[in-house]
Structures are given as C-alpha cells and as structure tokens.
Amino acid sequence: MSALTLTLLSAIICCSLTEKPSNVSSPNIIILLMDDMGWGDLGVFGQPSKETPNLDAMAAEGMLLPNFYTANPLCSPSRAALLTGRLPVRNGFYTTNGHARNAYTPQEIVGGISKDEILLPQMLKKKGYVSKIVGKWHLGHRPHHLPLENGFDEWFGAPNCHFGPYNSSIRPNIPVYNNSEMLGRYYEDFKIDRKTGESNLTQIYLLEGLEFIQRQTVARRPFFLYWAADATHAPVYASKRFLGKSQRGRYGDAVMELDYSIGQIMSWLKTLGIDDNTFVFFTSDNGAALISAPKEGGSNGPFLCGKETTFEGGMREPAIAWWPGHIKKGTVSFQLSNVMDLFTTSLALAGISPPDDRTLDGLDLTPVLLKQSTTLQNRPIFYYRGNELMAVRLGQYKAHYWTWSNSWEEFKKGINFCPGQEVPDVTTHDQKEHTLQPIIFHLGRDPGEKYPISVLTKEYQNVLSGISPVVEQHKKTLVPGIPQLNMCDVAVMNWAPAGCEKLGKCLKVPKSEPLKCDWPH
C-alpha cells in the first residue's frame, strides 16, 4: 500500500473517531495465517536472514509458543481444522482413496466444507461479530462451499492456490472474489509475474485488512479478521519494493513483505486505539514446502522434513499470541497447542459456549495465554496424514506408529520431502508400520527426530506405557467424518464463478466426468 493510502485512511479515522472506542467485553480477534511458512522462517525462531523485525517485536510484546502445531501437514485440512476446531478426520477434510494420503482442494475437487460443520465465524455471530476473510479460502470453491455461505460476512481473495497461469480451455485461472462475486482472475486481472516474482497481492490484502479493521472500529462492532495471505506459497511473490531485498532471494522477499504488512496491521491497531481490545494470533498452515526450496520454499529450522509429512518439519508451526495488557509481554509457553485451539480459544475470548453436539479437538488456551497456566500439560498432539494416525506427541515424547515421506516412485523422479536429511527407518519411502514397536523421540533433547530412543531402555518402556492408553482411547472413541476429498471432476473447475457474466469472464464448462481423485502422497 502506498504511504498516501495510509495517510488517507488515517485522515478518515482521525475525523470519525473523536473518542477512543469503549472497551467492549468481547475483544476483536485477528488470525494471521501464513501459507507454507516454516517454523524456521522467523527471526525469533532462528532464521539466519532475520527478515521479520515486526513479528519478532510482536513476540517480544506477547507470548511465543514454540510447541504449536497444525492439524495436518497440508493447507486445506489445516484450514478446515482451524475454522471448525476439529481434526480433519472428523470434519471430513481427508480422503479414503488411499491409505495415509494427503488430500486438499485443487480446482477439480468436488467436495468442500460440509454443511454439517460449524465454523468459527458462524459461532462468533452470536455475539455480534462481523467476520472477514482476506486471502486464501481453500475449503472448496463450489458455490455452497464459499466463505459467505459459511459464516463470513466479507471476503476478499481466492478459493484456491495461485497456481498458474493456465489457459482457458484445459484449466481456467483461479478467480479472485470480492464477497460473493468474482472480481477477476489471477494472471489476468491480478498479476503475478512468474519470471520476476513481482505481484502487488500482499499490498492489496494488507489494504483490505486495514480497511475492514477501520470500518468495524468506526461502527463499534467486534470483528474477526482471518488474514490468510499466500505470498510464501510457490510461486512466491513480492511487490517491487521488496524484491531483491532479503538475504535469501525471492522467498525471503515475500517474508519481508508479509512481516512489513503485519507490522502495519499492528501499528494500525495502536493508531486506532484498539490494541488493548484486540487479540492477535500469528501462525502458518503447515511446514515449509521443501519441495519448493531453496528458491521458493522456506525453512523448518532444526526440524525434520517439511510440508506433506508428519515429522516436526511438516507440522510444527511458528506461533505468537498478542494482546497488550492481557497477555504478558515477552513470555514463552511450552504448552502443546494447535490450530484447533484457536477455534475454542476465540469462542472463550468472545464469551460464547462451544457447540456441545460434537467432539471438539481444540482446547481453550485462555488460562495459558492470560495466566501462564500449565494445567493443560498432559494434552496429546495427534499427527494425521489423511486417514491414518501416524504419530502422537505426549509431553516431550513423540511416538511414530507409521512413517513415510513419499513413494520410491516419486522420490526417484526427484520429489523429495526431506532433502539432505535421512533418518534410517524414519524418513521412509514405503508406508512403514511401527504399531507394535513405535519409534520414539524426545523432542526436547532431539527436536530434529534424529536419535530414536532404544527400545531396550527403561525410558522407552515408560514412555510407551504412557502413550499407549492415550492412543487406544483416541482410536476407540474416534468417529471419522464422511470424507469430502474423494471425488474430482473437470466440470467443477472455476469455469464460470458467480459474477463472471458481468465481467465477460465466463468460460465454457466441459462435460462432467466424476472420478476418484488421485492423491500421490
């Protein structure tokens, strides 16, 4: 955004807000969700290039959560889990087409978020929250799957990844929506220069976020902003001002621009005087995509492998909670926590009871965030890949019941989820079962999952006897949801999104040919 725009926005504010807004009981909620950004991409988490002064400052002013997880090592299920507070295997964001396969929502997917699920913005309505998503949705792109049909009041962004450019006959370019109608398409109306990496999208998303915050503040309505920028997902992009500015190329440039934008959002809250009434949480949807590294992928710091895997590099996420006057400055909580907790925690902050007709996997983290409580210490973390429980973390220990990175077939073609890393029996290219004798790591001493604890030790036996009943209980009580990511069809692609007529951008829809989606890893 230009300095001019910001000045204009400030002018609007200073004239409309003559007094500081009253401290309403329900704080505003902002979730800043990055796309494929790794744990190791933040300065405060050790990125040598130190591109994130604003996020580092946010951590210094808030709470850092080094043991924060996603619910799935891939974008769509992770996002569905965040918004429903439930594991993908419960909310249907998985496939049964193959064992332990990652599924998501490419544009040929037939499914999306089920009408049986309750999403965070739907719940927040009970207390009058206005909700907006800026950026990537990824919970299905057919009309009934879109954000405004699922609790959001506003949307600016796209239903799918910004892959492309595509031609208009075999595969249409992804639409960008403003609320319920398309505004244009990537590469056509919203430029991303695949050669130089230049795009103004992050600046547009920033402006959309600032404008929404400002509007709700003036109207004195509590708001939920789900800011889901995607500049760090390949093809990575940055605007001209940031290109070439980082130590590590285009990926780092994108991180710098996102960090800058988050700094703008934080300072906007202070300018508007709503910082002490706004809870902000920063995280990412899954680990850095090492298949796109080093030119278009990030860093998982000391962790093993990356996106697509249930090793720490795939599922441990950078996480910062910020709420001046409520969350103690400069604190670190080692609480095991995850994206699904954001659902339950947001409801607790808003003073809304969570739905009681379904199993929720998210916990209410407010005792941890507001009182540095450690009472939630014994909660486990479940690492799923598709329909399989691959691993479980309890306390400092993680037990792998199944391992695999990707198939030998893919690996031989050069697709590698663990480049430069090889832990025997762990980063396997077969789906390898260890149910009878899980591979156990101590994640405190060994965050990189490189030193399996010998099965002959007392430590191993003690750990196993603690984890086994947790796994048993989980499996015994789990009722999987109906899998939503099994069927694909070229006819459901973004040929003619709502609003295309006005723009003359409707494309011819091909004949429907439903078939089982192929999920190779």
Place of tokens 């030998």: 408
Query: Is 488 designated active site?
Result: no
Give the DSSP H or E segment for 500.
helix 500-503
User: Nearest distance from residue 189's CB to a copy of itself, in Å?
Assistant: 31
User: Nearest distance from residue 488's CB to a copy of itself, in Å?
Assistant: 33
Give the residue with the Cβ less far from a copy of itself, 412 or 511.
412
Identify the CA nearest to 460 among candidates 397, 375, 370, 369. 397
Place of tokens 């795939």: 314
User: Nearest distance from residue 430's CB to a copy of itself, in Å?
Assistant: 18
285 labelled binding-site residue: yes
3-state secondary structure of 331: strand
Give me the helix-helix angle, 201-219 and 250-271, nearest 10°.
10
Which among 138, 141, 145, 521 is annotated as catalytic?
Answer: 138
Cα torsion 74, 76, 81, 84 to 10°: value is 180
488 labelled binding-site residue: no
User: What type of residue is 422?
Assistant: E
Query: Helices marked H in 39-174 — which ranges?
Result: 53-61, 75-84, 88-91, 120-124
**Cα–Cα distance between 410 and 229 in angstroms, integer?**
29
Burial status of residue 6 (CB atoms within 10 A of its CB: 0-12, 13-18, 19 or more):
middle
Which among 75, 161, 305, 488 is annotated as catalytic?
Answer: 75
Alpha carbon separation from 307 to 288, 314, 408 (Å, rounded): 6, 4, 17
User: Nearest distance from residue 422's CB to a copy of itself, in Å?
Assistant: 4
425 labelled binding-site residue: no
Can you say whether the dihedral through the CA atoms of 448, 450, 452, 453 is positive or negative? negative
User: What type of residue is 492?
Assistant: V
3-state secondary structure of 34: strand
3-state secondary structure of 31: strand
Give the residue with the Cβ less far from a copy of itself, 53 or 98.
53
User: Nearest distance from residue 196's CB to a copy of itself, in Å?
Assistant: 16
Give the DSSP H or E segment for 281.
strand 278-284
Both tokens of 382, joined, read 């479940």
**Cα–Cα distance between 32 and 161 in angstroms, integer?**
17
517 labelled binding-site residue: no
Can you say whether the dihedral through the CA atoms of 453, 403, 362, 327 is positive or negative? positive
Question: Which chain residues interact with a copy of itself by CB under 8 A?
Answer: 40, 43-50, 60, 64, 66-67, 246-249, 251-252, 293-295, 299, 301-302, 304, 332, 334, 396, 419-423, 442-451
What DSSP assignment string belongs to 235-259?
Answer: SP-B-TTTTT-STT-HHHHHHHHHH
Give the residue with the Cβ less far from a copy of itself, 166 or 334.
334
Give the residue with the Cβ less far from a copy of itself, 166 or 411.
411
Give the residues across from 134 on adjacent strands. Answer: 156, 227
Place of tokens 């480049």: 419
8 A C-beta contact, residue 261 and residue 202: yes
Identify the CA nearest to 2 among candidates 237, 239, 255. 239
Give the residue with the Cβ less far from a copy of itself, 249 or 324.
249
Give the residue with the Cβ less far from a copy of itself, 185 or 316.
316
Query: Is 506 designated active site?
Result: no
User: Nearest distance from residue 302's CB to a copy of itself, in Å?
Assistant: 6
36 labelled binding-site residue: yes
User: What type of residue is 57?
Assistant: A
Give the residue with the Cβ less far from a copy of itself, 278 or 292.
292
Give the residue with the Cβ less far from a copy of itself, 137 or 441.
441
Angle at alpha carbon of residue 75, lines to 73 and 80, rounded to 5°: 105
Q: Is the bond preceding residue 424 a cis peptide, omega within 30 degrees?
A: no
User: Nearest distance from residue 399's CB to a copy of itself, in Å?
Assistant: 16
User: Nearest distance from residue 50's CB to a copy of itself, in Å?
Assistant: 5
Q: Which residues are catalytic?
A: 75, 138
Residues that constitute the known binding site for Ca(2+) = 35-36, 75, 285-286
